């Protein structure tokens, strides 16, 4: 199976711009019952994924825009093409511009 992340990012960003929540997501790989999960998430500028914990090891690849990955007082900024390692503690993700990221999670057993 091959899927265009560019086309998916465009579609999700259009959906996020219209959504009350300011976000849209799709999981093309994995999900319930799988160890590996990859989810494309689009966030309208100024929106965020509130503080949460990860079910395992995770990275965020910025496909478009600019985001901040926050964990306590630590803030890491990422722009298109940046690969960010998600900390193993509570964190949040904020879009400083209309943004699309690829979240990859490997669930810990």
Say yes or no to pLDDT of 13 above 90.
yes
Residue length of the chain: 109
Give the pLDDT band of residue 1 (cuts 50, 70, 90).
low
Mean pLDDT of the 63-81 span = 95
Alpha carbon separation from 108 to 12, 35, 70, 88 (Å, rounded)? 28, 8, 22, 11
Dump the DSSP string for 15-43.
HHHHSTTSEEEEEEE--TT-SEEEEEEEE
Mean pLDDT of the 60-85 span = 96
Q: Are 40 and 63 in contact (CB under 8 A)?
A: yes
Q: Are 91 and 52 in contact (CB under 8 A)?
A: yes
* Residue 88 Cα to chain centre, angstroms: 15
**3-state SS, residue 58:** strand
Mean pLDDT of the 82-109 span = 93
Q: ∠ CA 40-64-6 to the nearest 5 degrees?
A: 60
| Residue ranges covered by each domain of the chain | 5-107
Say yes or no to pLDDT of 84 above 70.
yes
**Domain 5-107 class in CATH:** mainly beta
Question: What pLDDT score does 109 carry?
Answer: 67
């Amino acid at each position: 199976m091959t899927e265009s992340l560019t086309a998916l990012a465009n579609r999700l960003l259009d959906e996020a711009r219209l959504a009350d929540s300011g976000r849209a997501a799709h999981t093309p790989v994995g999900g319930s019952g799988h160890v590996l999960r990859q989810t494309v998430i689009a966030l309208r500028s100024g929106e965020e994924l509130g503080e949460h914990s990860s079910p395992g090891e995770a990275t965020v690849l910025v496909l478009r825009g600019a985001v901040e990955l926050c964990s306590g007082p630590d803030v890491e900024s990422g722009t298109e093409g940046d690969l960010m390692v998600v900390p193993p503690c509570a964190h949040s993700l904020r879009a400083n511009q209309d943004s699309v990221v690829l979240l990859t999670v490997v669930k810990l057993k």
